Structure 1
Amino acid sequence: MKILALDLGTSSVRGLVLDDAQPLPGALARRRMAVTVDDEGAGTLDARAYLACLIECLDELHGQGWLDGVELVAISGQWHSVVPLGADDEPLGPVLTWLDTRPEPSATAVGPVDPDAFHQRTGTWWHRCYWSVRLPWLRVHTGDRVGRFTGLVEYVLGGLLTEAPMSMSQASGTGLLDLHTLDWDPEACALAGSDGADLPELAPRGWHGRLRAEYGRRWPALASARWTPPLGDGAASNVGSGCVDPTRAAVTVGTSSAVRLLQRMSTSAEPTALPHRLWRYRVDHDHVVTGVAYSSGGNLFAWADRELRLPTGRELEAALDLLPPDGGRPTNVRFGGDRPPGMRPAGLGELRGLGFGTTAVEMLAGLMYGVCEQVVDDLVVLESTVGRPVEVVLGGGAMAASSWWRRAFAAVLAPRPVHFARHPEIGATGAALVATGRIADAVVVADIGRTDDQDSATSA
């Protein structure tokens, strides 16, 4: 089956065409997105510009004939984003992404009555990353003009489709969903100051979307294609990495980084206890993903590449190969602050032990190793939920670009077996596999190999 996969990320929007979960060579359109960040903790996107970039990608694929024969559209999209809309359904301000650390409860706000029970039901905390804190903050900063709230993914799809309800996967990332009833949680909604009327409609099991007539005329090949419920990008990456059972955890490094474990958990199943340190979101109606996410990942490499005048490509990799796995320089990689449940703000990044002889590559290596170290303790907690050690599969664009980084992860995570998902498009592939009901095929499709596989290294 020919599938159009949309990857609605933070730093880019992409469309690519797959045949039987394999990307067709050249069938890729991409637009980079400008994330507005500042020292106050902002991390925002322009919703209208984002939609325009997605339309440009689809125009490009259509113009090159890649959309011909597409039967299904699968979507991987960023979790946690929110944009306030006015009565005309137009944005009243920028999109708050997961990067934004500004929202805080008011001085008089009171959190959940039973924080642990709240965590077990929603898989989240009363935290600035989630809508329970973000919606009241946005009302204060936007005024009384808010008609409703939606996620960036739903805003974009709402512009293209006849209807765009929020999938269970995306809804779980808001922090307002009861993971077991698959409905908005009353206490979480009360904390958000919502009666439910200003929240997105939830997609029922089996939902499929269709293009609006004007876009069906613009892209005739997609006029009859079925659009499937969007997956949170972390859930899609787990599936695309081949980590679809409790024996194997995914460590992915894209813009940010995360460690996650996917498990089958239907709504009728007795929920397993969720340790305080971990979040849990829905993949679909029958699966959940449990883990920890971090604000630092490939964005640290991007910062270093911009500011430290690094060598590029194979020259950089050769310079890294001369260094020990720990990089030799201690670091604090919290440049962007803590992801939940941590509360530390952005701007805490550190490079220590520097001297006049310290090179830019040594500083980069220290940062890269710091990203590896942050995973270790949380992986132990994650393993406690299944009662045994797990294998680890590395994935994401940053992992594909650096064999040194893969070897550093393997050293930090030893003695666990550590592998590498060589498939180049884990998010898009994961979304396609879930959309076609082929989660069980993920291990084969991921093409899991050694962490020192040089064939996957590309120019950074």
Structure 2
Amino acid sequence: MFLGLDLGTSGLKALLIDADQKTCAEASAPLTVSRPHPNWSEQDPADWIAAARSAIGRIAAHTDLSQLVGIGLSGHMHGATLLGANDEVLRPCILWNDTRAHAQAARLDADPAFREITGNIVFPGFTAPKLAWVAENEPEIFARISRVLLPKDYLRLWLTGEHVTDMSDAAGTSWLDTRERDWSGDLLEATGLSRAQMPALVEGSAPAGRLRVSAAEACGLPAGIIVAGGGSDNAASGVGAGTVADGSAFLSLGTSGVLFAANDGYRPDPQTAIHTFCHALPGRWHQMGVILAATDALEWLARFTASSAHELTAALGPLQAPGSALFLPYLGGERTPHNDAAIRGAFLGLEHATDRAAGTRALLEGVAFAFRDCRDALAETETRIERVIALGGGSRSDYWLAAIATALDLPVDVPASGDHGAALGAARLAMMAAAGAGPEICTAPPIARTVKPETALRQAFDDAHTRYAQAYAILKET
């Protein structure tokens, strides 16, 4: 059996599969985000360990894990987990959606070496500018840093005692030579760090340590189990969804939104604000358009209206033409294509007839238009997408999928029931590392149905997207 652990922003998921990739058990544990100041987003790494122990413990309580031979890890990217000389946590982890380091990011991005070596813009949410912020604002902590880890790799440290990361997660730090798949000494030096403070690098499908006795006893697992390199949440989702061949793609409607395309070569184009990262499998890369608020925006509206996300979307009925109301989902800035940490969301075009349903439709459409901007940015890199697989909690909304299919003018494939995301990808990477399986196990899921664009509404969505783009330009000026 193989266990995949996916460390998400709002919770940790554990998925157990057998050698035939059938789900044997799954469990989850919630996590919360602290926002002590505007633009800040943090978590206590101790909570990740508690969540892992809870989720694994729930599985162990009902399943014989004596045949477990491999563990794979996945997690949210870019987080700055800072450790001292004895691996003590020096401060809360600064998360991917924290934008306090926007000035430091702009300064690093002005150095052409960063885009040239990493293949990416230095976004405020990436790890390097966060370390530059710590150096300037918390120098006493910066001086004590012995190691910088990404979130999932802090879990690995607890499990194995090893300081290791994989290529896909490392690519989101702004320190990796993404073509050569190695740390760049020059970029590390530019932020006052050295290779000695970085974790060792492995491919996601390679062994990266063994389960040590202390963690095994805490979780009720046999010691010595191989722990795979694993992958970033998006790369692991690509492995789970079978999005590993050139041109295959998925769309993730999670807390953030991702339009992900696998590549068999390295094709960076930083000016588009598309992310070009290593995949979790050797010799492969991927590109992503990333929006910072997808289901996060819907949850915001649910809190704002004292409703639940399900209540907001359940009664919307069939897809309608966009109305006068527009929603720009930039609640915490935006990445693709704007690279704008300061922009904020807005409802526009409100009128007397705008009720809760109309506001919900406008929000779902606004996120769909943000995905369309990502599609257009990917097209500038000559990456063409013919269809996408829908992943994430937001994909349970038929209305949202129909709006996205129509806005993108692409068919959206909906997988059959089951987990096809990062937790499965992590478990598959464990199969490769511990049992010698090859990339052929990364098959696409069975498709239950396909949501096709509503051709009769295509022009209406095109026109609404034009108004959406104009609204961004106006909002940007203010």
User: Is TM > 0.5 for Structure 1 vs Structure 2?
Assistant: yes
Asked if 2 retains the 8 angstrom alpha-carbon contact of 1:395 and 1:422, the reply is no
1:111-260 matched pairs, under 5 angstroms: 111=109, 113-114=111-112, 118-145=114-141, 146-148=144-146, 149-203=148-202, 206-260=206-260
Q: Are the aligned partners of 1:76 and 1:428 in contact in 2 as well (CA < 8 Å)?
A: yes
| Deviation per residue, 1:1-49 (Å, 9 max, x gap) | x21110111111121212233323xx22211111112562011111112
SS of equivalent to 1:293 = strand
Amino acid in the other structure paired with 2:294: G
CA distance in 2, matches of 1:175, 1:22: 37
Q: In 2 relative to 1, CA 44–346 (structure 1 residues): closer, same or farther, beyond 3 Å?
A: farther
Could you tell me how far 1:199 is from its partner in structure 2?
A: 2.0
Structure 1 pair 70–41 and aligned structure 2 pair: CA distance change class (3 A): same
Aligned to 2:460: none
Q: Distance in 1 between matches of 2:229 and 2:99?
A: 28
Does 2:367 align with 1:371? yes
State how 1:307-346 maps to structure 2 within 5 Å: 307-310=304-307, 313=310, 316-321=312-317, 324=320, 326=322, 329-339=325-335, 342-345=338-341
Structure 2 counterpart of 1:308, one-letter code: T
Q: 1:294 aligns with which of 291, 294, 297?
A: 291
Q: 2:344 aligns with which of 337, 343, 348?
A: 348
1:422 aligns with 2:420: no
Kept in 1: contact 2:212–2:224 (CA 8 A) = no
- The one-character-per-residue Cα deviations of 1:290-328 (angstroms, maximum 9, x if unpaired) are 121110111111112222133675x65552115615365
Name the structure where helix makes up a greater proportion of residues.
2
**What RMSD in Å do the two structures reach over aligned CA positions?**
2.7
Aligned with residue 86 of structure 1, among 60, 77, 84: 84
2:463 matched to which residue of 1? none
For 2:248 and 2:240, how far apart are their aligned partners in 1?
A: 13
Q: TM-score, normalised by structure 1?
A: 0.87
CA distance in 2, matches of 1:239, 1:353: 41
Look up the match of 1:362: 358
Q: Deviations over 1:221-276 (max 9, x none)?
A: 442421111201111222323322233321111111011111224xxxxx435352
Residue pair 1:240, 1:428 contacting (<8 A) in 2 also: yes
Question: Which ranges in structure 1 are unaligned for 5 or more consecutive residues?
Answer: 266-270, 453-460
Query: How many angstroms apart in 2 are the aligned matches of 1:292 and 1:108?
Result: 19
Q: Partners in 2 of 1:107 and 1:439 — Cα distance? A: 36
Q: SS in structure 1 opposite 2:315?
A: helix
- Give the 3-state SS of the residue equivalent to 2:255 in structure 1: coil
Match of 2:399 among 397, 404, 412: 404
Please say if residues 242 and 446 of structure 1, whose CA atoms lie closer than 8 Å, have aligned partners that are also in contact: no
Q: Structure 1 residues 350 and 312 mapped into 2: Cα distance closer, same or farther (>3 Å)?
A: closer
**Could you tell me whether the CA contact under 8 Å between 1:275 and 1:381 is conserved in 2?**
no
- Pick from 263, 267, 270 the counterpart of residue 272 of structure 1: 267
Residues 124 and 341 in structure 2, CA contact (< 8 A), matched pair in contact too: no
Counterpart among 63, 73, 78 of residue 75 in structure 1: 73
Structure 2 match to 1:268: none
Kindly tell me: are residues 311 and 15 of structure 1, through their superposed partners in 2, closer, same or farther at Cα, counting changes over 3 Å? closer
Q: What number of residue pairs does the alignment pair up?
A: 439
Structure 2 SS opposite 1:449: strand
Long gaps (5+) in structure 2? 453-478
Residue 18 (structure 1) aligns with: 17
- State the one-letter code of the partner of 1:450: T
Q: Does 1:29 align with 2:21?
A: no
Following TM superposition, by how much is the alpha carbon of 1:102 offset from its aligned partner in structure 2, in angstroms? 0.2
Contact preservation (8 Å) 2:371, 2:404: no
Scaled by the length of structure 2, the TM-score of the pair is: 0.84
* Paired letter, 1:140: E
* 2:88 aligned counterpart, secondary structure: coil
